[in-house]
Amino acid sequence: MLVAAISDVHAPRYFDDFKAAISRLKKCDLLLFAGDIVSKSRHEQVPAILEAVREVYKGQIIACFGNEEYDQSLDEFKKFKEISWLNDESVVVDVDGVKVGVAGSRGSLDRPTFWQRTHVNEIFETYRKRVENIDSMLAELKSDLKIVISHYSPTYLTLEGERESSWPEMASKAMEEVIKKRQPDVWFHGHIHRSTKPEVEIGRTLVVDVALPARKNVTVVDLPRKTGLEKFV
């Protein structure tokens, strides 16, 4: 099963790069977005994203939100019914007879950003609960394959290339403990634009940064094979 994933299109900023990347997608069975599809919550950009996708892919699309999809605009994004939006939620979809469980969340940070600390009430508690929530979702998912999409990274291991002092504001070591405990088949994340080590294995789980600025492409993973990545150019 070929699962494609991408994030950080930040439309319209990287839309042309996205359009070129998606046009190179030869085949996939499921398409996932790991947040920041648009810049600054510009939900009016979503139709252009969908139009580019539908030129090459007609199947199911599942997405989580990123930090650029603001809370006050989430209802506007959810109006685009072609996308199954997961906001600390999970879904099981049938892909050619295989039950694929997908858990989706913005994810968690070890240290909220300065803006979050000064503007978002109870942000530390929110991040703590997200870790617990993903752990519970993975424990309860009844599916042949288990996939997580989050915007923030669940590990520091894919942050190489970014300034190390900022790593706590990009990822969550607590989420890495969830990976070790629950061992989903693959965990896709975004947000890390400068990663020089975009894929790692934690136990049997493949963790992949799919941020467009880092990958320059749509990333495709062949499941249930977990020994590497296959990128279609």
pLDDT per residue as tens digits for the range 184-203: 999 999 999 999 999 999 99
Output phi, psi for 102, to 5 deg. -125, 125
pLDDT per residue as tens digits for the range 94-153: 999 999 999 999 999 999 999 999 999 999 999 999 999 999 999 999 999 999 999 999
Other C-beta atoms lying within 10 Å of the C-beta of residue 41: 19
**Statement: residue 22 has pLDDT above 90:** yes
For 2-222, CATH gives: 3.60.21.10
pLDDT of residue 168: 98
Q: What own/partner pairs with CB < 8 Å and gap ≥ 24 does 110-114 have?
A: 110/168, 110/169, 110/171, 110/172, 110/173, 110/174, 111/168, 111/169, 112/169, 113/169
pLDDT per residue as tens digits for the range 202-226: 999 999 999 999 999 999 999 974 3
How would residue 35 be classed by pLDDT, with cut points 50, 70 and 90? very high
